[in-house]
Amino acid sequence: MEKMKHLEGLEHIYDILFGSLHHCVVIVDEQGVITYMNKCYYDFLGTSRAIAVGRHVTEVIENTRMHLVAASGESEKANMQYIRGNYMIADRVPLYDGSRIIGALGLVMFRDRKEWAEMNQHIKTLMLELESYQKQVEQLNGTSYSLHDALSVSPEMEEVKRNVRKVAPSDVSVLLRGETGTGKELFAQGLHKLSERSMKPFVKVNCAAIPGDLLESELFGYEEGAFTGAKKGGKPGKFQLADQGTIFLDEIGDMPLNTQVKILRVLQEGELEPLGAQGPRQVDVRVVAATNQPIEELIENQQFREDLYYRINVISLTIPPLRDRPEDIPLLSKFMLQKVTERLGKRITAFDQQVLDRFLDYPWPGNVRELENTIEATVHLTEGETIQLSDLPARMMDVGQANRKSGIKPLKQVIAEAEKDAVKQALKEAEGDKRTACELLGIGKSNLYNKIMKYNLE
């Protein structure tokens, strides 16, 4: 009874503060449950206090981030949010009682419907212009990915993305490690786009694809007449093309030793000498390198220079293979299926549960790239609206049988499957009531919502 009176007293105070505002206001508790919403917001959403208060904010406001702010304690200023067909600008701040977070307050910034319509139209125009400019910049600087394209829910991948955001603003050299197909180029482009060099070129060099005798001229360029057959007027090298921007040296472990010496000079002195040139040229590039080889072993075998290794390995980021993060597989599969079907114009809406189970069993030696190729192949082969086990490539059927015979699954996969089953069972016993499910599982409501999204249980 006292708690109810306390809440009613708070709501009365909130109404005095926010009730007459022409801005939309919402307040949530630390679990992301709505405790207050002013009349302006009720009217805009077409809801009421009886429906909204007491429910998780994600059930009432589309594309909301209020529960995330309440969980993280990090403010979000002038954040764009898409609601009911419009872009809105929202401020979100955590609420504290001393040092303890007790919730978050959100404020949508617009004065009246007419002003909002004008602002919304202006924003849409700007967004279209921005999209056009972004495409032009991507064509000019050679990038097509950003860090947002690295879809994940696994702690390992989230940690890699956090570290990318930390080091991106600096000019420090970064070495990306990971197996083939893990997305090293995506992270390299993400580093570039988050850096101060984002409007300058991003130049990729695949050190394994260029013959050793041509690699030096590709990297450093040449002057007219430098050798027989040299192009008239000469040719700038990749480092010159990347001046003021970023150069991505993919598969750097395959670079010949004599070329490594010149790369080291560029990193140490900021200068290079094209073939046939009379003197050095100054360049300013950030180097991001990538390898799927153990460079330390190459150094021991005198196949890679130790001094170059320390120059490119200032920051080392390891991208985990797909088999070590099975919780990302459902999310990636759903996204890739949507992307492929839209491109091919086929109506395929889902995977049979047996297919998803097989995806979790399979070791994915080709990682994310193999997953995407597999999904594209199944889209071509399937005849219905749901991808069936029989649509999968033969290699996956064989490996799946071998895995089942051994009876051994990776520990992370076992844990993920157990967690998913526990959440499903709790929701079933609670007859869909999420508050009761939280009590059964002993977790908070925001945590439950994250797991429902993670395992695609809705």
Query: What is the reported pLDDT for 142?
Result: 60
**Contacts of 430 by beta carbon, 8 Å cutoff, 6+ apart:** 436, 437, 440
Residue 144 has pLDDT above 60, yes or no: yes
Architecture (CATH level 2) of domain 147-225+235-318:
3-Layer(aba) Sandwich (3.40)
402-437 pLDDT, tens digit per residue, is 454 455 566 666 777 788 888 888 888 888 888 888
CATH of domain 411-455: 1.10.10
From CA 217, how far away is CA 236, in angstroms rounded? 9
Hey, where are the domains in the chain? 21-111, 147-225+235-318, 325-403, 411-455
When the pLDDT of each residue in the chain is averaged and rounded to a whole number, the result is: 84
Q: CATH for 21-111, among 2.60.40.10, 3.30.450.20, 3.90.1150.10, 2.60.40.1180?
A: 3.30.450.20
Please enumerate in sequence order all residues whose Cβ is within 8 A of that of 455, keeping only pairs 6 or more positions apart, or say none: 327, 330, 419, 420, 423, 424
The whole-model pTM stands at 0.60
> Is the predicted pLDDT of residue 1 greater than 50, yes or no?
no
Most confident of the following: 103-117, 152-166, 444-458: 152-166
Average pLDDT over residues 109-135: 66
1, 7 contact by CB (below 8 A):
no
pLDDT of residue 112: 45
Could you tell me if 367 and 180 are in contact, meaning their C-beta atoms sit under 8 angstroms apart?
yes
Asked if residue 225 has pLDDT above 70, the reply is no
In 3D, which of 42, 45, 25, 22 has the Cα closest to residue 115? Answer: 22
Mean pLDDT in residue range 210-222? 83
Q: Each residue of 246-260: pLDDT tens digit?
A: 999 999 999 888 889
Report the candidate in 162, 275, 187 with the shortest Cα–Cα distance to residue 226: 275
CA atoms of 304 and 323, how far apart (whole Å): 29
325-403: what fold? Helicase, Ruva Protein; domain 3 (1.10.8)
β-pair type (174-177, 315-318): parallel
